[in-house]
Amino acid sequence: MRKLIVPLCAALTAAAVLAGCGNGKGQQPAPAAAENAAKEETEAAQEQAEPVQTEKTKLTFLRVGTEPERKAYWESSVALFMEANPDIEIEYQECGYGDDFETKLNTGFASGTAPDIINFTMASMGTRVPLGQYACLDEYAAAWEGRDDFMENALTLGSVGDSLYGIAVFPDPRILIYNKELFVEAGLDPDAPPTNWEELLEYHKKLVKKEGDNVVQTGFGLPTSGTNMQHYLSVFIEENGVKNLVDEETHEVLCNTPEAIEAAEFLKEIADAGVIRWDSNNSDQNPFASGLAAMTLGNTTDFHNWNEGAVAGKIAMASPLTHERQATFCGMGFMFMSGETPHKDEVWRFIEFIASAEEMWRRYEELGVTPMRESLRERYVAENPESNGIIYESINCGTGSPKVAYANSVYNAVNDAMERVMYDVEDPETALNTAAGEIQKEIDNQ
**Contacts of other proteins in 230-289 (CB under 8 A):** 276-279, 281-285, 287, 289
Q: Among 179, 227, 328, 341, indicate the residue that binds other proteins (CB under 8 A).
A: 227
Q: Are 223 and 289 in contact (CB under 8 A)?
A: no
Of 217, 155, 206, 204, the C-alpha closest to 176 is 204
Task: Count Cα atoms within 13 angstroms, Cβ side, for 146.
Answer: 25
Count, residues near other proteins per rule CB under 8 A: 87
- Between residue 289 and residue 328, which ones bind other proteins under the rule CB under 8 A? 289-292, 298-299, 301-302, 305, 308-310
Minimum CB separation of residue 60 from other proteins in Å reads: 7
Q: Kindly state the DSSP code that residue 225 receives in the 8-state scheme.
A: B
Per CB under 8 A, does 66 bind other proteins? Answer: yes
The length of the chain is 446
Q: Select 27 or 384, whichever has its Cβ closest to other proteins.
A: 27
C-alpha angle 69/394/435, rounded to 5°?
A: 100
Which of the stretches 225-233, 251-259, 342-350, 392-400 binds other proteins when contact is defined by CB under 8 A? 225-233
- Out of 50, 55, 67, 272, point to the residue binding other proteins (CB under 8 A): 67
Q: Given candidates 36, 42, 53, 156, which one binds other proteins under the rule CB under 8 A?
A: 42
Convert residues 379-398 into a mask of x (bound to other proteins by CB under 8 A) and - (unbound): --------------------
Look up residue 57 and give its DSSP letter: E
Restricted to residues 74-133, the positions that interact with other proteins (CB under 8 A) are 91, 93, 95-97, 99-100, 102-104, 106-107, 109-113, 127, 131-133
Among 45, 79, 184, 192, binds other proteins (CB under 8 A): 45
Contact 85, 345 (CB under 8 A): no
CA–CA separation, 369 and 363 (whole Å): 6
Is 30 an interacting residue with respect to other proteins (CB under 8 A)?
yes
Q: Does residue 446 interact with other proteins by CB under 8 A?
A: no
Q: How far is the CB of 15 from other proteins (least distance, A)?
A: 6
User: Does 337 engage in binding with other proteins (CB under 8 A)?
Assistant: no
Provide the sign of the torsion angle of the four alpha carbons 141, 145, 147, 151, taken in this order: negative
- Whether the Cβ atoms of residue 90 and residue 82 lie closer than 8 Å to each other: yes
Q: Which residues from 360-379 bind other proteins, rule CB under 8 A?
A: none
Task: Return the number of the residue (237 or 289) whose C-beta is nearest other proteins.
Answer: 289
Count the Cβ atoms, other than its own, within 10 Å of residue 76.
12
Among 36, 38, 252, 322, binds other proteins (CB under 8 A): 38
Buried b (16+ CB within 10 A) or exposed e, 12-42: eeeeeeeeeeeeeeeeeebeeeeeeeeeeee
**Mask for 162-191, x = binds other proteins (CB under 8 A):** ----------x-------------------
Stretch that binds other proteins, among 195-203, 256-264, 342-350, 412-420 (CB under 8 A): 412-420
> In the chain, what are the helix, strand and coil shares in percent, each to the nearest 5?
50, 20, 30
Contact residues for 97 (Cβ-Cβ < 8 A; gap 6+): 64, 65
| Closer Cβ to other proteins, 238 or 416, answer by number | 416
Q: Which is nearer to other proteins, 66 or 322 (CB)?
A: 66
Report the alpha-carbon distance of residue 38 to residue 150 in Å, rounded: 52
